Structure 1
Amino acid sequence: MTPLPARPLTVATVQAQPVPGDLAGNAVAAARWTDRAAAAGARVVVLPELFLPAYHPPTLAADPTGTDLAATADGAVHDPRLDPLRQAARGGGTTVVLGAAVRHPDARRTISSLAVDPSGAVRVAYDKQQLWGGERDLFDAGRRGATLLVDDWRLGLGICYDGCFPEHGRAAADDGAHGYLCPSGYLAGSAHRRDLYYAARALDNTMYVVFANAVGGADPWRFNGGAAVYDPEGRPLARGADTGEELLVAELDPAALAATRSAHSMLTDRLPDQGLPRSVLRG
């Protein structure tokens, strides 16, 4: 198993309401959230799925030129609309993970997480693998998982519907993840599933989970907040309300990670052929 980090890591998660189609304005808003997170001591800040263009399928369908960011072959993003966010990351020494619609050189369009590092460089960190519902009409599925390294913390990346699949979080854990970052867009009426999935991914894999979510908007695209940081037993260290914008800050503690993994050893006890072969009994 991957060695545990040497020091705690302070993280922030955001629930906020971006403006559909206003990528430049939403980048300014993301910069403000990053400044606030840095002032609270956060080394990592996570914002919702598709935060930069906003998760609003009618706008994403009507204006791909205005809502998408172009990536180079090696995943770099050079777009002046992101300059305020680059500056905030540099000023706070913060890594920012936030959602974007990305156009790749091969014409694929993906729901992606960008990572803005403390130097201000922006890269496509991860493309969503599990597309939900009508997303399949607008976007292409990602091809592989990804892990973000911050200090000596390994942070697996997922986006919203990815976290509904136990295998996705387990793949991150198998890659040595100490935590799992999930920018998301959960709609009003989904609070039960929203709160269950990410707590379960934490306990399943004895890792921290950082869940960001959009909030507000108009039906049918009204989002329900509930951003949270879960400890490795699935208990919320910080939890947002179902309404209203909010910044939540929590510390990921390697000692708590070690204690949980010592007491709950599912990762090491798992059988290589779990549940196979199967017998069929007739009653």
Structure 2
Amino acid sequence: MSGPLGVATVLRVATVQSVPVNGDVEANLRRTESIVEQAVAAGARLIVFPELSLTGYDLALGDDPRMWFAPGDDRLAGVRRAAAGSTVVVGALLRSGSRRHIASLVLNDAAPDVVAPKTYLHGAESDLVEPGEGPTVVSVDGWNVGLAICYDTAFPEHARAARAAGAQVYAASALFTAGEESKISGRMVSAAVDHGLWTIMANLGGHQLGERSAGGSGAWAPDGSVAAKAAGCDEEIVTAQLH
């Protein structure tokens, strides 16, 4: 798939394999700001972080009101400034009115935050939050990007719905641990080939849920070939050019 007509044909993306400190929002925000600055300096126009990148994946954290974010949250002002015209996708527990979600927040320095809730919940997540209603699609430099969160990628209809909504890119924020490497490649390649999409995935790195990360953050072309991939399982910024 080539770039959209009438806009730049190349979209430079960064998938961030970040390693958050569970429950330390302040430290995670500082590190997020630093990583965004690095990715912007490298030319990235879309910067995607993993699932729950601002808190770490620990559902028990939902008992602490400090772990919950909201659209327009002042704590994200530094990330918005660091974006410097690029678009940043971070993962958070989100409260919007009476609704609670595991969500991606789409940030830049010139527009209101966009909320992209997780559609398909897994295990105990349903005791803490409610599901979203399908993929959120946002525009970045004229490219339409469908957003997914981890378990969403297990359902082909999620990527199909994103494509039907005009997406040219399917971007997943995820948590895959050691032993789940085949899930990463299988799901991202299937979404790419079945729907003619560029696919990108940002995985939590380090140790999560007491297990080693599977790593594997990267990008896949519409023919299923690997365009870029993390070298290891710890923190890494993986860049790719979509065209």
Q: TM-score range by the shorter chain?
A: over 0.9
* Structure 2 residue 69 is the aligned partner of structure 1 residue 77: no
Distance between the aligned counterparts of 1:219 and 1:185, measured in 2?
A: 10
Task: Please name the residue that 1:87 is paired with.
Answer: 81
Structure 1 unaligned regions, length at least 5:
71-75, 254-283
Letter in 2 for 1:19: V
8 Å CA contact 2:57, 2:208 repeated in 1: no
SS of 1:198 mapped into structure 2: helix
TM-aligned CA deviation for residue 251 of structure 1: 0.6
* Larger Rg belongs to: 1
1:213-252 to structure 2, matched below 5 A, reads: 213-217=203-207, 219-220=209-210, 222-252=212-242
Higher share of residues assigned strand: 2
Q: CA RMSD in A?
A: 1.9
Structure 2 unaligned regions, length at least 5:
none
Letter in 1 for 2:62: A
Distance between the aligned counterparts of 2:55 and 2:80, measured in 1?
A: 17
1:203-222 to structure 2, matched below 5 A, reads: 203-217=193-207, 219-220=209-210, 222=212
CA-to-aligned-CA distance 1:13-63 (integer Å, 9 cap, x gap): 0101001111122111111111111111111100001101111223x2332
Task: Please name the residue that 1:271 is paired with.
Answer: none
1:155 corresponds to which of 140, 145, 159: 145
SS of 1:238 mapped into structure 2: strand
Task: Please name the residue that 1:67 is paired with.
Answer: 67
1:1-283 to structure 2, matched below 5 A, reads: 4-5=4-5, 6=7, 7-58=9-60, 60-63=61-64, 65-70=65-70, 76-79=71-74, 81-90=75-84, 93-105=85-97, 107-119=98-110, 121=111, 123-217=113-207, 219-220=209-210, 222-253=212-243
TM-aligned CA deviation for residue 221 of structure 1: 5.1
Distance change in 2, residues 1:221/1:139 (3 Å):
farther
Distance between the aligned counterparts of 1:46 and 1:82, measured in 2?
A: 15
Distance between the aligned counterparts of 1:26 and 1:222, measured in 2?
A: 19
TM-aligned CA deviation for residue 227 of structure 1: 0.2
Letter in 1 for 2:79: L
SS of 1:157 mapped into structure 2: strand
8 Å CA contact 2:207, 2:213 repeated in 1: yes
TM-aligned CA deviation for residue 124 of structure 1: 3.4
Distance between the aligned counterparts of 1:218 and 1:211, measured in 2?
A: 17
8 Å CA contact 2:51, 2:150 repeated in 1: yes
Distance between the aligned counterparts of 1:101 and 1:221, measured in 2?
A: 21
Q: Percent identity?
A: 38
8 Å CA contact 2:169, 2:198 repeated in 1: yes
Distance between the aligned counterparts of 1:187 and 1:54, measured in 2?
A: 14
Letter in 2 for 1:97: V
Scaled by the length of structure 1, the TM-score of the pair is 0.80
CA-to-aligned-CA distance 1:121-160 (integer Å, 9 cap, x gap): 5523311110011211211111232111012111111111
8 Å CA contact 1:157, 1:180 repeated in 2: yes
Distance change in 2, residues 1:40/1:108 (3 Å):
same
8 Å CA contact 2:81, 2:108 repeated in 1: no
> Which protein has greater RCO, CA pairs closer than 8 Å, 6+ apart?
2
8 Å CA contact 1:77, 1:124 repeated in 2: no
8 Å CA contact 1:227, 1:239 repeated in 2: yes
